């Protein structure tokens, strides 16, 4: 038996010698994507061997893996056998959906320079000969930390006198610039809250303000969804009445309060230990969260009420964290390019790229940025909720039973469902795979029209491809209309990319790096996305999938003042193209909706 360690899921156990890494993973309940069931034909079970001896590379693996992957010790789990104790990294795209959430992202690798410092002091108790007031006694004690006298938040001041006496004049102060924002017993661990509020989902993180370490995280749905799937419907809902706007704000705050409380209880801490928060979201979400007017965002020329970074008291928004704590909001760029985009750019480091680099955050709304020779330009495209399974006949979110990967082989469809459950529908990555496979096998023409095939049938006059026959229920299908929905979504993204590179006069093949962010983008098959012409046909090694980069950016801004300044510099530097204003929009959009894949002609 060999010890096998799967990271970052953190599953370890013993595995027999004659078991492949895929079998070991199954034994240890690590769900690795394996559409072909371990027959070495789907090439989706990629893992990276970090340490330890494994069987020799097979010819099959050599042809399935890129040069870069081979150099980095990537292997196909179904063809690799441990020869001793091994440590294996399972990249997010190789994990099936139940083991991932929208909180996964890049690790933080900056030195913490927290905006809130924890300082421990012993204040002098007053006496008749020294009848000093409590506030000045505290400031006098802070002199030992070279802290000049500043201000004390009113809520802290209101409880200062009894607290000093209860704690025998020894306290831990949370100091933000020159303001005391919280006070606790000696040894109190000050925490921070970072949140990325997406149109559909929210990712929240609890961070240690001193070490910068992420202690806990939560992924949850954005409860505003009951007011509409996209931001435009929420803008109009909020614009209808003051009560609606207040309700939409309350929904976000309640969700964050709940997430903060749950993460704190996991860490045996109190929400009152959270002394700073950073919240990012698109411009509409940012405005709704701050109770700012949003109506102008829904009308041409779509201007934000605020672009600058802001610091506001958490209590003014209803956030139940330390009473004197602040929420920092990163700057917005434009009406449809918000602080979450800035956070994504910060986390991916695209502003420092020296090669032509694209960063794409795929979601209900997709934001794309191109850095070419130091010039950064962004565009926002309404890709719609098709990737979330909305408006697709058997569409569903990534949940157990959703077909998440598929392949057409020898006229038969092979598929994998989330959790290995009996299929109940199809999620975004599955739809992308199916349409790509149908296109590659010429079942669908470049125009998107579905042609004849043994699995294509007509229903109510519309062609549909049968994915799964079910004894007692209607078969699960992808219809001609579903293909059209996907075409609209992918056309928006491809046109966004095209408008950016054309504005720079840059041929597509000169893009050296494509960073794909966002929960959905991280789990798509890049080859499928290229096959349907959603992404440019570049060598696969130029693509990287980085998880929730906006969440990572929010955490960076939470723990580092320098990162906050950098975010402001990025927002000031980033240019913006309004997609609807590009010349000949309709023709270009129609071209971009082609499933032909290869380079689009101007
Ligand atoms: S499971 Fe390894 S190639 Fe399919």
Residue 99: what pLDDT?
A: 47
Which of 214-228, 301-315, 378-392, 518-532 has the highest mean predicted lDDT (pLDDT)?
Answer: 301-315
Q: pLDDT by residue (tens digit) across 318-338?
A: 999 999 999 999 999 999 999
Residue with tokens 């042809």: 63
Q: Is the peptide bond before 301 cis (omega within 30 degrees of 0)?
A: yes
Please report which confidence band the pLDDT of residue 602 belongs to, taking 50, 70 and 90 as the band edges: very low
601 pLDDT higher than 60 = no
**416 contacts: CB under 8 Å, gap ≥ 6:** 33, 34, 35, 96, 403, 404, 405, 406
Mutation pick for ligand 1 pocket among 24, 40, 46, 55 (CB with most ligand atoms within 8 Å): 40
Percent share of the chain, pLDDT over 70: 96
The span from the CA of 488 to the CA of 492, in Å, is: 6
- In tens, the pLDDT along 338-390 reads 999 999 999 999 999 999 999 999 887 899 999 999 999 999 998 877 887 77
**Ligand 1 atom at minimal distance to the Cα of residue 36:** 4
pLDDT, tens digit, 9 for 90 and up, residues 243-263: 999 999 999 999 999 999 999
Counting from 1 in the atom list of ligand 1, the atom nearest the Cα of 79 is 2
**DSSP secondary structure, 551-595, as one string:** HHHHHHHHHBHHHHHHHHHHHHH-EEE-GGGSTTHHHHHHHHT--
Q: What angle do CA 155, 157, 158 make, to 5 degrees?
A: 65
63 CA to centre of ligand 1 in angstroms: 13
pLDDT mean over 95-114: 68
The whole-number pLDDT of residue 578 equals 85
CA–centroid distance, residue 41 to ligand 1 (Å): 6
C-alpha 512 – ligand 1 centre gap (Å): 29
DSSP sequence for 444-457 = B-TT--B---TTEE
- From the alpha carbon of 32, which atom of ligand 1 is closest? 1
Atom number in ligand 1 closest to CA 77? 2
The CA 39 to ligand 1 mean position distance, Å, reads 6
Q: How many CA atoms lie within 13 A of 466 on its CB side?
A: 16
Distance 32 CA to ligand 1 centre (A): 9
- 475-502 burial, b if ≥16 CB within 10 A, otherwise e? ebbbbbebbebbbbbbbbbbbbbbbbbe
Question: Quick one: which of 119, 105, 191 has its CA closest to 546?
Answer: 105
Number of other residues whose CB lies within 10 A of the CB of residue 545: 17
Residue 107: the pLDDT is: 62
User: 347 is written with which tokens?
Assistant: 């986390």
Find the mean pLDDT for residues 193-221.
91
Output 120 or 225, whichever has higher pLDDT.
120
Give the mutation target among 23, 41, 62 for probing the ligand 1 site: most ligand atoms within 8 A of CB. 41
Q: Between the CA of residue 432 and those of 93, 165, 454, 478, 486, what are the distances in Å?
A: 14, 64, 21, 11, 8
Q: What's the whole-model pTM score? A: 0.82
599 pLDDT more than 50: no
**Relative to the CA of 76, which ligand 1 atom is closest?**
2
3-state secondary structure 486-527: HHHHHHHHHHHHHHHHHHCCCCHHHCCEEEEECHHHHHCCHH
Let me know: does 500 contact 375? Beta carbons within 8 Å.
Answer: no
Checking if the pLDDT of 180 tops 60, the result is yes
Whole-number Å distance between alpha carbons of 407 and 94: 16
Determine which helix (DSSP H) or strand (DSSP E) holds 543, and give its type and residue range: strand 543-545
Confidence class for position 101, pLDDT limits 50, 70, 90: low
Among 181-195, 329-343, 425-439, 514-528, whose mean pLDDT is lowest? 514-528
Q: What are the C-alpha distances in Å from 298 to residues 304, 336, 576?
A: 10, 10, 17
Interval 85-106 mean pLDDT:
70
Of the given ranges (105-119, 456-470, 530-544), which has the lowest mean pLDDT? 105-119
Instruction: Give the nearest ligand 1 atom to 34 CA.
Output: 1
Q: Which atom of ligand 1 is nearest to the CA of 64?
A: 3
**Higher-confidence residue: 26 or 123?**
123
Question: Per-residue pLDDT for 104 more than 70?
Answer: no
CB 450 within 8 Å of CB 437 = no
What integer pLDDT is reported at residue 515 of this predicted model?
95
Percent of the chain with pLDDT over 90: 68
Ramachandran category for residue 487: left, alpha or beta (phi over 0 → left; psi -120 to 50 → alpha): alpha
- Residue from 154, 123, 254, 278 nearest 205 by CA: 278
Q: What atom in ligand 1 is closest to the CA of residue 41?
A: 3
Average pLDDT for 515-535: 89
For residue 453, pLDDT beyond 80? yes
* Ligand 1 centroid distance, CA of 34 (Å): 5
Residue 470, Cβ density class (10 Å: 0-12 exposed, 13-18 middle, ≥19 buried) = exposed
User: What is the position in ligand 1's atom list of the atom closest to the CA of 38?
Assistant: 1
* CA–centroid distance, residue 268 to ligand 1 (Å): 42
Distance CA 47, CA 148 (A): 54
Whole-number Å distance, alpha carbon 361 to ligand 1 midpoint, is 28
Strand partners, 463: 458
pLDDT for 10 equals 67
Ligand 1 pocket mutation, candidates 43, 90, 420, criterion most atoms within 8 A of CB: 43
CA of 507 to the centre of ligand 1 (A): 35
pLDDT in tens, 118-155: 999 999 999 999 999 999 999 999 999 999 999 999 99
Give every CB contact of residue 109 below 8 A, 6+ residues apart in sequence: none
The closest residue, in CA terms, to atom 4 on ligand 1 is 42
Residues with a CB atom less than 6 Å from ligand 1: 22, 34-36, 38, 40-45, 76-78
Q: How many angstroms separate the CA atoms of 210 and 189, rounded?
A: 8
- Rounded Cα distance, 20 and 14, in Å: 12
Give distance in angstroms: CA of 98 to centre of ligand 1.
19
Residue with tokens 């693996």, as numbered in its chain: 61
Ligand 1 centroid to Cα of residue 466, in Å, is 24
pLDDT at residue 499 is higher than 90: yes
- Whole-number pLDDT of residue 536: 94
C-alpha of residue 78 to centroid of ligand 1, in Å:
6
Q: Which range is least confidently modeled, 51-65, 181-195, 222-236?
A: 222-236
274: β partners: 191
Q: How far is the C-alpha of 582 from the C-alpha of 260, rounded, in Å?
A: 43
Q: Please tell me the least confidently modeled range out of 34-43, 233-242, 363-372.
A: 34-43
Distance between Cα 565 and ligand 1 center (Å): 45
Ligand 1 center to residue 443 CA distance, Å? 25
pLDDT greater than 60 at residue 598: no
* Rounded CA separation 602/588 (Å): 8
The three-state secondary structure class of 69 is helix
**Cα-flanking dihedrals φ and ψ of residue 395, to 5°?**
-70, 145
pLDDT (tens digit per residue) in 280-312: 999 999 999 999 999 999 888 899 999 999 999
How sure is the predictor about 102, in pLDDT bands with cuts at 50, 70 and 90? low
- Ligand 1 atom closest to Cα of 78? 2
Read off the pLDDT band of 68 (50, 70, 90): confident
The 8 Å CB, 24+ separation contacts for 291-300 are 291/245, 291/246, 291/249, 291/317, 294/234, 294/235, 294/238, 294/239, 294/245, 295/235, 295/239, 296/335, 297/235, 297/335, 297/336, 298/232, 298/235, 298/236, 298/239
Q: Which of 26, 31, 34, 525 to mutate to test the pocket of ligand 1 (most atoms within 8 A of CB)?
A: 34
pLDDT of residue 274: 98
pLDDT(184) > 50:
yes
- The closest-lying atom of ligand 1 relative to the alpha carbon of residue 33 is 1
Q: Which of 38, 95, 527 to mutate to test the pocket of ligand 1 (most atoms within 8 A of CB)?
A: 38
Average per-residue pLDDT for the chain:
91
Residues whose CB is less than 8 angstroms from the CB of residue 556 and which lie 6 or more positions away in sequence, other chains included = 108, 110, 343, 346, 347, 563
Written in H, E and C, the secondary structure of 222-266 is CHHHHHCCCHHHHHHHHHHCHHHHHHHHHHHHHHHHHHHHHHHHH
* CA torsion angle 283 284 289 293 (round to 10): 110
Residue 134 has which token pair?
A: 């409590």
- Return the structure tokens found at 533: 């012409």
Query: Bridge-partner residues for 217, per DSSP?
Result: 205
Q: Residues 6 or more apart from 340 whose CB is under 8 A from it?
A: 196, 197, 198, 280, 281, 282, 285, 361, 367, 550, 553
């Amino acid at each position: 038996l060999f010890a096998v360690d799967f990271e970052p899921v953190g599953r370890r156990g013993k595995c027999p010698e004659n078991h492949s890494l895929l079998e070991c993973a199954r034994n240890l309940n690590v769900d690795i994507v394996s559409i072909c069931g371990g027959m070495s034909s789907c090439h989706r079970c990629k893992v990276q061997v970090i340490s330890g001896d494994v069987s020799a590379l097979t010819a099959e693996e050599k042809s399935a893996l890129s040069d870069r992957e081979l150099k980095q010790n990537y292997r196909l789990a179904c063809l690799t056998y441990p020869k001793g104790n091994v440590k294996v990294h399972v990249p997010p795209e190789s994990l099936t959906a139940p083991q991932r959430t929208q909180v996964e992202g890049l690790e933080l690798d900056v030195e913490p320079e927290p905006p809130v410092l924890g300082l421990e002091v012993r204040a002098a108790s007053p006496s008749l000969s020294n009848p000093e007031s409590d506030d000045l006694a505290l400031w006098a004690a802070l002199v030992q930390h070279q802290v000049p006298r500043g201000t004390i938040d009113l809520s802290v001041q209101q409880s200062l006198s009894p607290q000093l006496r209860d704690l025998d004049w020894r306290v831990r102060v949370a100091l933000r610039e020159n303001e005391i924002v919280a006070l606790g017993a000696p040894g109190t661990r000050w925490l921070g809250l970072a949140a990325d509020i997406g149109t559909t989902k929210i990712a929240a993180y609890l961070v240690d303000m001193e070490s910068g370490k992420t202690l806990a995280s939560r992924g949850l749905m954005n409860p505003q969804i009951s007011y509409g799937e996209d931001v435009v419907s929420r803008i109009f809902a909020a614009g209808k009445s003051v009560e609606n706007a207040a309700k939409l704000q309350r929904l976000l705050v309640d969700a964050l309060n709940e997430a903060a409380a749950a993460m704190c209880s996991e860490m045996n801490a109190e929400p009152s230990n959270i002394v700073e928060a950073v919240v990012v979201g698109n411009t509409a979400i940012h405005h709704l969260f701050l109770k700012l007017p949003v109506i102008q965002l829904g009308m041409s020329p779509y201007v934000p009420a605020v672009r600058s970074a802001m610091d506001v008291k958490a209590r003014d928004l209803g956030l139940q964290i330390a009473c004197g704590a602040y929420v920092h909001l990163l700057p917005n760029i434009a009406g449809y390019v918000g602080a979450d985009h800035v956070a994504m750019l910060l986390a991916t480091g695209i502003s420092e790229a020296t090669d032509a680099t694209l960063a794409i955050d795929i979601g209900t709304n997709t934001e794309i940025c191109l850095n070419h020779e130091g010039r950064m330009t962004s565009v926002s495209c309404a890709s719609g909720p098709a990737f979330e399974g909305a408006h697709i006949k058997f569409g569903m979110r990534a949940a157990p039973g959703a077909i998440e990967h598929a392949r057409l082989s020898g006229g038969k469809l092979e598929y994998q469902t989330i959790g290995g459950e009996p299929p109940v529908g199809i999620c975004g990555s599955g739809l992308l795979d199916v349409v790509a496979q149908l296109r590659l096998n010429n079942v669908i023409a470049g125009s998107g029209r579905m042609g004849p095939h043994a699995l294509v049938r007509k229903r109510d006059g519309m062609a549909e491809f049968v994915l799964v026959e079910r004894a007692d229920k209607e078969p699960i299908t992808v219809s001609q209309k579903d293909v059209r929905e996907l075409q609209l979504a992918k056309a928006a993204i491809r046109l966004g990319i095209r408008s950016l590179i054309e504005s720079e006069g840059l041929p597509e093949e000169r893009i050296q790096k494509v960073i794909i962010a966002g929960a959905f983008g991280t789990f798509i098959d890049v080859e499928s996305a290229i096959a349907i012409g959603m992404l440019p046909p570049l060598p696969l090694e130029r693509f990287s999938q980085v998880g929730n980069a906006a969440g990572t950016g929010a955490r960076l801004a939470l723990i580092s003042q320098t990162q906050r300044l950098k975010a402001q510099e990025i927002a000031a530097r980033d240019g913006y193209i309004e997609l609807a204003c590009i010349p000949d929009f309709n023709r270009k959009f129609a071209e971009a909706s082609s499933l032909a894949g290869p380079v689009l002609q101007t």
